[in-house]
Structure 1
């Protein structure tokens, strides 16, 4: 403070005290108020006894009951005695109170209205608690964070419900810990993180690993967290358990592509399999087979016996043929088998014919034996349909030749 301020300086100081957006009070350490600006008076008059602001300790007692003790207990000649203590004032106003010793026995009190800041902090805290409750209690989702290198640096309880993981299982471990062994190629992990950095977010779906080694089908979104320099400081990963949806989709797909009686592929699925294998580098060979005298089986033993014969035929085909070979119910008692390439197709057909002839279908009245005729087509056909036509012609040649035999269509020139 100036001892003898010039008129202009005093006017400027007075204007400053009126306009400054905080309450200011200067007082002697014995409590005598020497100066208070209008904002300080506005804050304190509703609290002071009879609105009297002549004594700082009385005026401030509702806010800072220990003000006198703080002042007289301070031994420093200058400096902060009280730093931003928050106090409830009249009308729900929250004040931040700071007290400075200017020099010797002269004190300066600063009152700042932080009501809106406190309310904003409360809202932020409430939002944080709400989000934390969501993140900690979601059951179909796992939410966790990764550092810039892709290692887990933030464990969330949702990981425990999602996959049985504990903090010590995952913290500081690379993201690959959540992937099954066959999907952990380093180049794939690096590419995944690089794509998320480049685009900001990466969505993927596939099998993930639980702590006990079992698998879960999950949809995962990896979002990059930018840093102040425009780089990436880490990632947020959100994975959703889609196992039940995957099971339902697989079941619907199976129902749409499978013959309900025999479990063989239906004709629609067979056409797709034939087109795919035909378009491959080795081409395709097809075996078309038909149960001999199937109508007489139904007539003599009933349709239930006929159904059992069809199911037995499919089981025999799967036992003899290489794993994964498409066995297709083409229509009625007629079946189609698709093989890649032409090698040993006729030999495979003969093995299958013999196995069918040796199969007995157990019925209530005894064992039922059956035979099948097979047509084989290989070669450089222009289309799958042309290949089927030649296999069908070979099948009917086998039937005309006495049944229970294999007939191979002449090889088509490329």
Structure 2
């Protein structure tokens, strides 16, 4: 090949080529090199390679000076990424003669984009892992041994990552419920169908158990072979307890007059929810809705006022609450609203809606035209409020403050 042809190849090559001296001064650079390296320069002009890359590869001059051979590979495919950009190059330096170095730059934008996507996915995973509280998320290898363990799984099972990694999933299944013996069948079903779902007891590290719904999904390689499993278990013990109580008899859990939960049913569920909120660091808020001057009105107008007022209050609480919330008649005329996964700020918003609707409500029937108001106390599980009794007492204190301030108010407990 003639020198002219070599020069044309150098200049027109799709790969970036730059010839520099040992100080980094550019003697010649082809178009591809100038395009690839321009984002790393402050002016867009490629005059000194080492200076242009000093913020990204500050030791480049030292690597060149430290190379003792007369010729050879100095740097091999060094990844250089421009900050805050999906742009990068793979840089190699070849010493071709004393005082002469050729830099080879290839486009690594696809690699930079892939890394940015991976970082974004990792951030999303971290956010999801921090947000979910009663879901255990982890993976197994092909032999059923734990090979990744999330913070959510640690909260649910109470095993730290260092202790559970490499252990069989059977460690999470209570032996007296036949869990370990059924695990091979579960994994085989996931392999055969791609995934399987089952319900059963799971075990925490301290030996206590909880009822869970678990989905096991087989992970495949390019050839369709099983490389492992992903596992998601939902702690559904609180919901199961409620369902069992409902099956045992609606009359024991439902207030006959208002149709909401009885005092006992409400506080039994509240106890489970408080325990779960404390265990998983999940927010939980309670509203205490108390009619203002209730006994005075009843004394003046009789039993029809009491019944109509209680029904109306219960109905409004249920109307404004979510299906996951629980409304109960927890004192003679007071109602509780339990709000899982809700912070105090959200409870204050709901309480204000209930208060405002009650203030606008016009009674019908025997007490047509009468109006009534409620005072609402809002309390949240916190470091200082960790029991059902403590949550109820805090809500009561907030109600008393509302009454002292003139009634028909919403007050949040501030510990």
Q: TM-score, normalised by structure 2?
A: 0.51
Distance 2:60 2:161 in 1: 47
Contact 1:48 1:58 in 2 (8 A): no
Distance 1:125 1:171 in 2: 24
User: Secondary structure, in 3 states, of the residue corresponding to 1:75?
Assistant: coil
Matched, 1:35 2:28: yes
Distance 2:202 2:58 in 1: 60
Partner of residue 199, structure 1: 193
Partner of residue 380, structure 1: none
Distance 1:179 1:80, change over 3 A: same
Partner of residue 388, structure 1: none
Distance 1:124 1:51, change over 3 A: closer
Partner residue of 1:235 out of 208, 229, 237: 229
The superposition leaves residues 136-190 of structure 1 with CA deviations (integer Å, 9 ceiling, x where unpaired) of 5521100112222222232322223213223465333322222222333665222
Deviates more, 1:87-96 or 1:28-37: 87-96
Partner of residue 248, structure 2: 254
Partner residue of 1:159 out of 140, 153, 158: 153
Partner of residue 381, structure 2: none
Distance 1:160 1:45 in 2: 47
Larger radius of gyration: 1
Partner of residue 181, structure 1: 175
CA RMSD, Structure 1 to Structure 2 (Å): 3.8
1:100 Cα deviation after fit: 1.3
Deviates more, 1:216-225 or 1:167-176: 167-176
What is the 5 A alignment of 1:14-53?
A: 16-29=9-22, 33-43=26-36, 47=41, 51=45, 53=47
What is the 5 A alignment of 1:3-402?
A: 5-6=1-2, 10-11=4-5, 13=6, 16-29=9-22, 33-43=26-36, 47=41, 51=45, 53=47, 67-83=60-76, 84-86=78-80, 88=82, 94-167=88-161, 170-184=164-178, 187-255=181-249
Partner of residue 315, structure 1: none
Distance 1:155 1:14, change over 3 A: same
User: Secondary structure, in 3 states, of the residue corresponding to 1:150?
Assistant: coil
1:91 Cα deviation after fit: 9.0
Contact 1:49 1:59 in 2 (8 A): no
Structure 1: gaps (5+ residues): 261-414
Q: TM-score, normalised by structure 1?
A: 0.51
Distance 1:218 1:230 in 2: 29
Distance 1:74 1:166 in 2: 47
Paired residue total: 253
The superposition leaves residues 234-276 of structure 1 with CA deviations (integer Å, 9 ceiling, x where unpaired) of 111110011122122212212259899xxxxxxxxxxxxxxxx
User: Secondary structure, in 3 states, of the residue corresponding to 2:19?
Assistant: strand
Partner of residue 281, structure 2: none
The superposition leaves residues 283-338 of structure 1 with CA deviations (integer Å, 9 ceiling, x where unpaired) of xxxxxxxxxxxxxxxxxxxxxxxxxxxxxxxxxxxxxxxxxxxxxxxxxxxxxxxx
Distance 1:213 1:82, change over 3 A: same
1:115 Cα deviation after fit: 4.2
Distance 1:215 1:66 in 2: 57
Partner of residue 341, structure 2: none
Distance 2:29 2:126 in 1: 45
User: Secondary structure, in 3 states, of the residue corresponding to 2:249?
Assistant: helix
User: Secondary structure, in 3 states, of the residue corresponding to 1:108?
Assistant: strand
Contact 2:144 2:168 in 1 (8 A): yes
Distance 1:200 1:241 in 2: 23
The superposition leaves residues 22-62 of structure 1 with CA deviations (integer Å, 9 ceiling, x where unpaired) of 32112344656453211223456784889574x65667667
1:94 Cα deviation after fit: 3.9
Contact 1:176 1:184 in 2 (8 A): no
Distance 2:140 2:23 in 1: 58
